[in-house]
Amino acid sequence: MSALTNAIEILRCFSAARPDLSFADVMALTGKPKSSTSRLLRSLRDCGLLEQDPHTRRYRPGLLTFELGRLHRAHDDLIGTAERELREVCARTGHTGYIAVLDGFEQVVLRIVPGSNPLRVVNPPGQRTPALATSNGRAMLARLSDEEIRARVPTPYPKLPRNSPQNFAQLMTRLKEIRRTGVSEAADESIEGVGSQGFALASGETGELIGIAVSYSVQATTATERANIRRELAAMATKLRRTTGDPLINAASLRTGTTSR
């Protein structure tokens, strides 16, 4: 870890006020010996984190740092845009909204938008749940190829609540239906008595995939309310897909099982 720590220390020397640095500058700023400074600068240059001007021999951040920064900004832009739209949906419906990402076969909650309904369903940020047992988790999985899904689902197949897919074949049946209809719902699965509806959104620039869902009490929510949530999410999905350049712009491409990654 010391080599990585030392490399990060060098990268931190660059700033808006110091966009490029000489070898001597880096030595002065870090206080490191000449031999280790030379070795670290060479390694950072060779991997693309730094570039070296062939004439001045000064170092500046490389293309890889630019690409990583662009991905970070796109990540924040995608989630921030989705959260703004989700807040409006939650304000109109009164129910709680979630934004999550996939990590293997699990989904990880990133953002929560509380609703005004007294019966709130809240999972804290960082909460991990099998994506196979949630509406937005299955919506995200449905955007992957069958091969990617198979690679993510562990063997043996995990034990899930009885309303969730109980084996890989059942899971694929549910995912193919999501691809066909564009509708992903869950009820009495990851949390007993809780239902949810969700969809997946991908960035047209980076391909990053997130899942967006609204959750509610199964017993306290009427069929009319659930239908209204479905309409709200469908309209939100359409608007966000156009805004973010999601490859899955319309329902027709979803029904054919088009993947976004």
First to last CA, the chain: 33
**Tens of pLDDT, residues 35-50:** 999 999 999 999 989 9
- Give pTM, 2 decimals: 0.69
Strand partners, 229: none
pLDDT in tens, 127-183: 889 999 999 999 999 999 999 999 999 999 999 999 999 999 999 999 999 999 989
* Residue-wise pLDDT tens digits, 176-224: 999 999 899 999 998 888 999 999 999 887 888 999 999 999 998 999 9
Per-residue tokens: 161: 């609540």
Give the chain's domains with CATH numbers. Answer: 2-61 (1.10.10.10), 70-255 (3.30.450.40)
Q: Count CB atoms within 10 A of the CB of residue 5.
A: 8
